[in-house]
Chain A
């Protein structure tokens, strides 16, 4: 029940069922009672006709003509019956249609009162009966009680009701179905903006989009706006963090550089060496602390897709300038479509440190390959390998290098810190750094970052 769509559809169908159920019951009841009323009126009419046709005989009884006005009384099994009973309950007269049919005597009505009853014939046919007790004035001036009774079979009435119900259910089922269908279509339409927001947030997380498009219905513009504010403030926060670090680095390192320059101008050599050592330590601490991965600050909302090939090309161009005199041959094997999902600074830090180390240590050749860590080029996973033809790193030294992030060789400063930073960034993305022997003869550094 997590989908709004399903929730709405289920609650709407429950409501519909309840509403239609009540309507069906009300309609059915109304139709039935109207039908019954009509039936009773007809029966009353028949009774009146019989009363009018009855004539007293000299013998002190009542007599009816053989052919009544209503032909159904004359047809056997027509479903309309009439009989006349005396005060002892004895049958005085029965219509021809009642031949072979036993109309139950039923309850005796009080004089002058019409009594309607639902009764059942011997053969099981339900009938509606109307009895009327009258005091009939005989020719001799005496009054004698008679009971007139007419009965009509309810078979056709019931069949009509059943037909009506069938139609009622049929129509309501059809209407309910159409309503549910149109509601679900409508919901799809109404929920489309929500689905779009969901898709766009997904794209933002994938780094394919910078912010929500902002073209949403009134009810959602607030949500979209706040979402954008959140994203922007997240970005601003990470930018601010970087600017703060920049300023901090600048304001700490410029005085350190100035101190160094001053030491150079005067004072004894021993004095200068000791101070320089302290400056080195301070510098190292500042560098290490300030080069922590940006990704721990940058949540998934601020990650972007970085075009690996272009970034590496920029890096290689830069390094070619810096190592102009050494002139290493840097070969890169990177697919045009290769993307890294994360912070561009983090990517440059990984690639830059590894390539810079390779430039320092290589004899002539460097090879860099970047490929997806899984089959998909754009899922953000990455396997980055930098190999060189330098002296290489023995296995024990490699372990030590990876574990402690210390400098392996004091004469080439920054080797250790660079690797420690690469390792830390790789780990912050859930990946790892490995050192092996390259087929070019030197060291091979492999950073694997899984798709997120």
Chain B
């Protein structure tokens, strides 16, 4: 999934981005408000982390502008002032949650995961669908209680599909959201990874977790569990 971090302090922004990348996210970074808004409007973003006190354009303006332009991805605000006035203004403008500086980076990743799940309609920290269980905080996938070994890219794909369980996701969307750099976007690569995932999760072809819709993309097809 592709995250956007808009924060003017380079050290903070880079270490936050590093930590998020560690967690399996593709991360775009913006150092000022205008650049941030550009990324928010023009890039395929799944979640934005926005500092409220930014040069060029305030975080609040970015949020308002993005929401006005119809962007619905979750927004997490970072604020130095923990006056309720600022928090309420931010939430009112369209943010979904806030973290007050100085935060622990783990707190941010936890909120990010929660927001992503929430945006996919999942309420619990662990997503369950039939025999498949995905724990985002641990980056752990189990099928029938048995842990599945995944590469980081495989994990990214199944996480993306499962968060949006029931929706059709095109190959283009998957490449856009999952690749960190603009290297050769070969849709065959996606097909290969999907094939590997199917083999790992469903070696006997009994549960069919991932459907292929010809010409349209893929869909995580299992019914959401009681927690979702």
Contacts and interface: CB of A to CB of B under 8 A. Distances in A.
Nearest to B18: A265
B92 A314 contact: yes
A194 interface: no
Given A261-B11, A348-B88, A246 B101 contact: no
Contact of B9 (A254, A279, A414): A254
A246 B12 contact: no
B101 A351 contact: no
A314 B102 contact: no
Interface stretch (A1-9, A319-327, A395-403): A319-327
A279 B104 CA distance: 11
Contacts of A253: 80, 100-102
B84 A353 contact: yes
A349 B12 CA distance: 28
A345 B83 contact: yes
B17 to A, nearest CB: 10
Residues of A contacting B: mostly? helix
Contacts of A324: 96, 114, 118, 123
Contacts, number: 108
A250 interface: yes
B91 interface: yes
A325 B18 contact: no
Contacts of A76: none
Interface residues of B, number: 36
User: Which one of A252, A256, A258, A351 has the greatest number of beta carbons of chain B within 10 Å?
Assistant: A258
Contact of A352 (B80, B81, B88): B88
A32 interface: no
Q: How large is the interface on A (under 10, 10 to 19, 20 to 34, 35 or more residues)?
A: 35 or more
Contact of A258 (B9, B53, B84, B92): B9
B87 A325 contact: no
B15 interface: yes
Contacts of B153: none
A344 B81 contact: no
Interface in A303-350: 314-315, 317-318, 321-322, 324-325, 344-345, 348-349
Interface in A228-264: 245-247, 249-250, 252-262, 264
A257 B12 contact: yes
A344 B118 CA distance: 31
Interface in A10-51: none
Contacts of A220: none
Contacts of B9: 254-255, 257-258
Given A264-B106, A317-B92, 12 more contacts: A245-B81, A253-B80, A254-B8, A258-B11, A258-B15, A261-B15, A264-B15, A276-B104, A318-B88, A318-B91, A349-B85, A351-B84
6 contacts: A249-B80, A249-B81, A261-B12, A265-B18, A321-B91, A321-B95
* CB-based closest 6 A-B pairs: A352-B84, A318-B91, A256-B102, A261-B15, A257-B102, A253-B101
Interface of B: 8-9, 11-12, 15-16, 18-19, 51, 53, 78, 80-85, 87-88, 91-92, 95-98, 100-106, 114, 118, 123-124
